[in-house]
Structure 1
């Protein structure tokens, strides 16, 4: 009863309401979260992210070849190698290795991984030392952004900055910051710089082994530096591989295969290939951090070595420059601005592809090409390689000889000066200058000068880059271009010649062998490429330009300071280097150009120059096979020394009965008018006697030769067919004084074709000195074209 009473007096026990409990705690948690959020928001405003620290870190500039491999790198102002890269530009293999090694839950956590943090704190408390870290990729970016000491306060600061990063930026933004600024040892920052530095390639091209290697490197970049400590680096790489296999990211079989690969790396912070091209590009594009070129790395390396080796055998201070341009893209496959970049003695720092120098004879092909286009000449037109004066301008050949009658193809192939000036005079220097300007080559002239005939022989400045651009027209159907150094520059198509004339000029130049009169172990004959040499005044510049359907090649050799050079010419100095270069080119690049259908081959006749089919047999003294444009064969130019000679036909009156030459003043009988094809008077001293006018024209009838000039030049001081004897015990003849009688104006003396300088021009005298044994022919020509000649010999 008592127990019942006690029981009845006990108060009933109330059960806790679980819903109210969780609601109450949730409210507390929410309140705590709101407080934390407000606190974070306030701190974020008070202590904003110093993200401008990233902005202040400029990137290095990297110039790469056609395949993305580095040519030359330029660090930032602090000397740090850092190349910009985006997530899409990095190998997915690297991203897999990095995220699974550094931060497996990167895309899930808010910047700090609470589970990893609790685990790390617990392990540290249990073991009394740090066993594993809790740092996320975001926290690592925060530490890069704002370095801190290794203390509790420093770690809290790092976590706060990590939360700020996640608050303001996307995961991809944060990952991009890591990819660009992660430390890889010393002055190397970012995966792209590390990849180029240690592996010589872009991070987009990493193999699985290389990706794993770079993923572990930031943990201890100096300790695990792969070029110095490959075994340590390999050990760390393999630990990462085991982890990837454990997580099932990469298969065990794949990981085992990768482990078999050794770690191999070098230190490429400063690659030096095409250095002057790289320098030019970063000056043109200072804001571009990765600049792609079209350089063929293998070819650039081979030709760079070839040029450096070649120039070692040349005189002190001499340099060279080479461009190999792809005709399809107008971009350089090879760009060598100097022979030895690091050689101050040879001014290796000066880019001679841009230097304005006299181009010598390199522009002659375009004189003849424009002459073809204007219908003035064909490939075998008769030209005059004889002394001429063009309003006081009196050019001479490089050899100081004159050759008389030559064809266009001979004049161009042998680079004769007088015929080129003769054709330019017909084309007009102003027209020639304007056509070159429109084709991208504006010749540099003195300030007050206007285009003149000296342009044929290098009387205007041009650069190797400009010359390569216009010379490419011979390999591109007459269309020139402008060399462009990057894809950012537009490709220009600049008409210069017709397809027909460019092919004819190219064909003429192609037939000139590269090894003509030169013996060298590198040479191979009959290289199918059109080329033209050039030598500036004083042998300061030696040039050779070459072009075919695939490439255009430009070579310059000379003194960077423009000083005189000994025995430096296009033929003797530039051509041997071109031949070495040709031997390095892929064989498939050497391809001739197909002949246009409108170019035909026909027989023409000298001296008239027109089609043989349109001439009489008597008028056709010499036949030649010529390339014609649209079946047109222009006549020979008018003789500058004879107004009576008009394209070769000369009309005379003859006695109908005897056939002797007469005129109205001496004959009143029946006459006939006959027409004879004569050679230009200017050429008579050089042609065979049967072709001279005295042999072709009928003789004068008695009493009708009074009009023949009695003042024909005569050489005095030596007789025809005489023999001169040297003094006893002497090998050569002492000085012989000769003079002219009956000559008019300025005289030209030629000994065996070589132009001599008269000793006393006023008295028409010449001195022959140091004549050795042999046969000699002396020709005297006055300014009217009249001439005299004698033959003699020298004996002991």
Structure 2
């Protein structure tokens, strides 16, 4: 009976009217398989290049494809090799079917299948068998039904999507990308012939596992094509000498953290378009890997690059590698809350300029100060005395910025951060003066957005990777933003970095947990973070030494030359210190009338709260500023009068708690409380 089945099929297809009517009714009642094929989600960059491809639910790489996305040469070769009467038959080729049936009858087994491309599509849609007659009959029925309901181009597109190419590769686009690293729009004759040959025996002919078999199968296709006149003798000879790949290429998996986030936002989308640039993204991912190659495994890194004017994100690197492990590469550190260290200082200075508290040429006193129990210290514990505001920012001194923050108000500083579009997290909910030194939780993405606003003339810019550009409110004035950018552009580049007018700021959080560097030129802004995702300290990590070189390297990879910063707005006050209005010559603060003169006498040593050991020479004190002669008192009693020396040992000071006071010739004074053991 099995040997008579092909003859029954042919008789039905070629028989009289009654037989044809029966076949028509049989085909009309066919329940077709689902023809809506599930395809891999594609994420593309601003130029249409692939950033990321996701497998479908069963782990297959299967990309959507249309005929205009495939080289016509491949289509011609495929039809000539597989089904040269494809354009004329209605799903089954009677001539090929008769030949296959007669061969099977004469040999007692299937010699050639006689399957059309439509029949192969029917089998692929149902994942059916190829050799058994029951399966073959089902393919015939589905193929005839498909031809009634779909056009030839639609059927061919289904084949191009579903044809197996070995392993978990399905479809011409996935095959072309994995074997040749390119889309199938432009294929060489050698490439096209291999892709024609593979689906007949995808596992046995995989070039990455069975290279000799792949070569033999490709040569059979080439021989048939030259015999059929599809390719020329010259093309045949060239294809034979063209080497075939011996390994699979990985599919693009760039910006994994960002693409995962975007895909989760619109899981039903087949194709996502982002503002990223695949070339720059790959380069900065390589930079991240190279930076930490010989560092502790626990370290991670994040880099974010964006356009100043539009907020479009060009590259987003969330970690050194997208994998679990001690470096927690699966954590997107562009969105992790961290302490920003000194990176908020430029905003404080810009706000001070706007409020008329200071000018870049204003002098400010870097000296010991206390605000209740809070006594800020510079990073190195030293004091610089009187210096220009611009120099205080470039040197990233803590005391001047806290003095300014006290005048501005921490709440106003947090308000400015929110106007910039950031979402700062305040420990305890109430901001204090330490906010300007990093006492706030903020993300790298938020910091880059803040600096984009400063670079954009003080107007907030919303960072985005897929939406339309949107601009927010004014954070600070154009003049204040320009002044801060001008100051930061005078920062000395890291050793070995190219010189250029890059406005940048570094930061190191408390305990060396976070190293930052953020900078901008006339068109782009880039932020870099280095640290441990779990927040443990990284001894020796400083923003200037660790993150700043990466920032400059990132700009070099972004473009060959930095773009100049814009000129100052016409309302900018550009004068030297001598021509400043009197209130701007020196920063004094709102309580200046109650404060001592800046040149009043000061007990430079011992510092307030010090604990000293009594020696034979007595307690040594060091005086700074003031007009001699000086009188020094211990617990209100004079122990030294008429003194003009700036360093002197005090006689008669006993053990216990002692209040030391100094009075100069103008009656101005200073005092400290110490303990003598």
Q: Which residue of 2 aligns with 1:219?
A: 200
Distance 1:643 1:174, change over 3 A: same
For 2:110 and 2:416, locate their aligned partners in 1 and report how far apart those are by CA, in whole Å. Answer: 78
Between structure 1 and structure 2, the one with the greater Rg is 1
Distance 1:357 1:712, change over 3 A: same
Mark the runs of 5 or more structure 2 residues left unpaired by the alignment.
1-14, 603-623, 673-677
Alignment of 1:434-583 (within 5 A): 434-446=415-427, 449-485=429-465, 487=466, 489-494=467-472, 495-515=474-494, 523-583=496-556
SS in structure 1 of the partner of residue 365 of structure 2: strand
1:338 paired residue among 311, 316, 319: 319
For 1:152 and 1:70, locate their aligned partners in 2 and report how far apart those are by CA, in whole Å. Answer: 43
Displacement of 1:271 after TM fit?
A: 5.3
CA deviation profile, 1:150-176 (whole Å, cap 9, x unmatched): 123321111001112222333333223
Residue 36 of structure 2 is aligned to residue 50 of structure 1: no
Counterpart contact for 1:64–1:291, Cα < 8 Å: yes
Q: Which residue of 2 aligns with 1:268?
A: 249
Name the TM-score, length of structure 2 as normaliser.
Answer: 0.81
Residue 622 of structure 2 is aligned to residue 643 of structure 1: no
Distance 1:93 1:372, change over 3 A: farther
Counterpart contact for 1:471–1:552, Cα < 8 Å: yes
Q: Which residue of 2 aligns with 1:143?
A: 123
For 1:585 and 1:714, locate their aligned partners in 2 and report how far apart those are by CA, in whole Å. Answer: 68
Alignment length, in residue pairs? 631
Distance 1:74 1:551, change over 3 A: same
Distance 1:362 1:342, change over 3 A: same
Counterpart contact for 2:633–2:639, Cα < 8 Å: no
Counterpart contact for 1:361–1:533, Cα < 8 Å: yes
Distance 1:294 1:605, change over 3 A: closer
For 2:316 and 2:325, locate their aligned partners in 1 and report how far apart those are by CA, in whole Å. Answer: 19
Counterpart contact for 2:303–2:526, Cα < 8 Å: yes
For 2:509 and 2:412, locate their aligned partners in 1 and report how far apart those are by CA, in whole Å. Answer: 23
Mark the runs of 5 or more structure 1 residues left unpaired by the alignment.
1-27, 616-632, 646-679, 700-707, 725-735, 742-758, 767-778, 790-796
Distance 1:49 1:491, change over 3 A: same
Which deviates further from its counterpart, 132-141 or 491-500? Answer: 491-500
1:610 paired residue among 580, 603, 617: 580
Name the TM-score, length of structure 1 as normaliser.
Answer: 0.70
Residue 364 of structure 2 is aligned to residue 386 of structure 1: no
1:37 paired residue among 13, 24, 35: 24
Distance 1:398 1:82, change over 3 A: same
SS in structure 1 of the partner of residue 468 of structure 2: coil
Counterpart contact for 1:191–1:214, Cα < 8 Å: yes
Residue 350 of structure 2 is aligned to residue 369 of structure 1: yes
Counterpart contact for 1:73–1:269, Cα < 8 Å: no
For 1:397 and 1:255, locate their aligned partners in 2 and report how far apart those are by CA, in whole Å. Answer: 76
For 2:653 and 2:386, locate their aligned partners in 1 and report how far apart those are by CA, in whole Å. Answer: 25
Distance 1:404 1:549, change over 3 A: same
Displacement of 1:224 after TM fit?
A: 2.0
Displacement of 1:37 after TM fit?
A: 2.0
Alignment of 1:627-642 (within 5 A): 634=584, 636-639=586-589, 642=592
SS in structure 1 of the partner of residue 243 of structure 2: coil
Counterpart contact for 2:422–2:447, Cα < 8 Å: yes
Counterpart contact for 2:50–2:278, Cα < 8 Å: no
Counterpart contact for 1:386–1:683, Cα < 8 Å: no
Displacement of 1:551 after TM fit?
A: 2.4
For 1:642 and 1:372, locate their aligned partners in 2 and report how far apart those are by CA, in whole Å. Answer: 18
For 2:349 and 2:155, locate their aligned partners in 1 and report how far apart those are by CA, in whole Å. Answer: 64
Distance 1:360 1:563, change over 3 A: same
Residue 404 of structure 2 is aligned to residue 431 of structure 1: no
Residue 344 of structure 2 is aligned to residue 359 of structure 1: no
SS in structure 2 of the partner of residue 575 of structure 1: helix
For 2:517 and 2:651, locate their aligned partners in 1 and report how far apart those are by CA, in whole Å. Answer: 42
For 1:292 and 1:717, locate their aligned partners in 2 and report how far apart those are by CA, in whole Å. Answer: 79
Alignment of 1:592-611 (within 5 A): 592-598=564-570, 602-605=574-577, 610-611=580-581
Residue 591 of structure 2 is aligned to residue 591 of structure 1: no
Displacement of 1:102 after TM fit?
A: 2.3
Counterpart contact for 1:340–1:348, Cα < 8 Å: yes
CA deviation profile, 1:269-310 (whole Å, cap 9, x unmatched): 565544333433333332334444455455444443443343
Q: Which residue of 1 aligns with 2:669?
A: 786
Displacement of 1:68 after TM fit?
A: 5.7
Displacement of 1:512 after TM fit?
A: 0.7
For 1:143 and 1:259, locate their aligned partners in 2 and report how far apart those are by CA, in whole Å. Answer: 32
For 1:371 and 1:476, locate their aligned partners in 2 and report how far apart those are by CA, in whole Å. Answer: 19
For 1:600 and 1:102, locate their aligned partners in 2 and report how far apart those are by CA, in whole Å. Answer: 75
Alignment of 1:65-464 (within 5 A): 71-122=51-102, 132-146=112-126, 147-148=128-129, 150-204=131-185, 206-245=187-226, 247=228, 249-269=230-250, 273-315=254-296, 317-327=298-308, 330-342=311-323, 344-390=325-371, 393-446=374-427, 449-464=429-444
Counterpart contact for 1:216–1:236, Cα < 8 Å: yes
Displacement of 1:384 after TM fit?
A: 3.1
